[in-house]
Structure 1
């Protein structure tokens, strides 16, 4: 028995040359990347600004942080959550039909191929570019942020929804057909029960990501807390910068814990 095991062990293909080649390539890329970095471009003012940002985080403007008016951090954080939440809901609703049109086990392959190309194009454009486009169309404000988050969410959610749809257990449809179920009944009792938990889990995960996107979109005037952050930095009001960053960190941590809890509950039933 031991001889058979030893024989099988020694029969295992040697991967040393493969590992050496991959390690050499990675090491070469790291060294090449280090030569691209120009530490000389770091001016003394840059280090001073970095110190001021850290000092602002340590000594934040508590009045600004706890201000519940429309100009305070709390209101802006709530606005950011609202932009991310509404954009995620609309994006998920619009992503579902795109997902079914992209699933090769649901529609003909040419239709699925064309729809996937459209979704790839949607995912290719960065969110900030969409934000700049929608600012020109709808003007500055939270509505622009919602439109941007919605469009950005469609591409990624549809891609993840497709994976769930293509993993469906299709054998149940044959059983439902044999007992005379209609198409609506097949969807209601055969498809939705298999997909609802996965779709909700994916949607919650995307909401977590969209919250960060909504924070950044304020930089281009698409609502949320990003615009006050860049204005405070341009005006060198580091205490306000610290207050905004502290609020963002706390908000993202809370949403992260909540989303992980909800996703675990959904996946595990």
Structure 2
């Protein structure tokens, strides 16, 4: 018996060459990436700015941080949350029919491939580019940010929705059909219960991402807290920079905590 085990062990494919090749490729890619980094650009001025940002975090402008005016951090964070929330909701709703059109098990294969190609094109454009485009159409402000969040959410959310749709348990639909259920009843009791928790989990995850993107969109004038942050940095008002960064850090940590809790409850029950 032991001899048979030894013979089988000797027949195991040798992975040494394979692992060595992978390691060599990764090492070459790492060296090539490091060679493109210019350490000389890290000068005394950059270190001074980094030091000032840290000092701003230690000594924030408390009036700006806790003020209830439209220029205060609390109001700007609220505006950023609204942009991310509305953009996520609109994007998630629009992604549902698109996801069904992308599923080969639901629609003919040519239709699914064409819709998938359109979604790929949507995903290739960065959020900042969409932001600049919508600012030209609607003018600067939160509305441009909401439109940007909506269109960028469609690309990712619809792709994840398709994976859930493809894993639907069709035996439940067959059972409902044998019971004489109507199409609406099959959707209500056979499809929605299978999709709802996973769809909501994906939407919450996308909201978490959109909250960070909404901050960046403010840099191009699409509303939110990004614009005051860059203005404060350009004006060397480091106490204001510290206040805004503290507000962002606290907000993102809270959203991360609650979103993870909600997603865990939805997935695990």
Q: Report the secondary structure of 2:9's partner residue.
A: helix
Deviation at 1:41, TM superposition (A): 2.3
User: Counterpart of 1:9 in 2: which secondary structure?
Assistant: helix
Structure 1 match to 2:222: 222
Q: Which whole-Å deviations, capped at 9, do the CAs of 1:149-187 have from their partners, x for residues lacking one?
A: 011101111000000000111122222222222111111
Alignment partner, residue 27 of structure 1? 27
Q: Give 1:3 shift.
A: 3.5
Is 2:74 the partner of 1:74? yes
> Any unmatched runs of 5+ in structure 2?
none
2:36 alignment counterpart: 36
* TM-score, reference length from structure 2: 0.97
Distance 1:57 1:5 in 2: 63
Q: How many residues align?
A: 269
Question: Distance in 2 between the 1:8 and 1:82 partners?
Answer: 62
Aligned to 1:143: 143
Are positions 1:233 and 2:227 aligned together? Answer: no
Residue 178 of structure 2 aligns with which residue? 178
1:68 alignment partner, SS class: coil
Instruction: Give 5+ residue unaligned stretches, structure 1.
Output: none
Aligned counterparts, 1:105-120, within 5 A:
105-120=105-120
Partner of 2:202: 202
User: Which residue does 2:18 correspond to in 1?
Assistant: 18
Q: Distance in 2 between matches of 1:198 and 1:7?
A: 47
DSSP 3-state at the match of 1:181? coil
CA distance in 1, matches of 2:25, 2:214: 38
Query: 1:227-266 maps to which residues of 2 (within 5 A)?
Result: 227-266=227-266
Cα deviation digits, residues 32-86 of structure 1 (max 9, x gap):
2222111122332122111111111122111111111110001100111111011
1:78-116 deviations in Å (ceiling 9; x for gaps): 111111011111111100000000011111111101110
More displaced stretch, 51-60 vs 111-120 = 51-60
Partner of 1:190: 190
Q: After TM superposition, where is structure 1 displaced by more than 4 Å over at least 4 residues in a row?
A: none
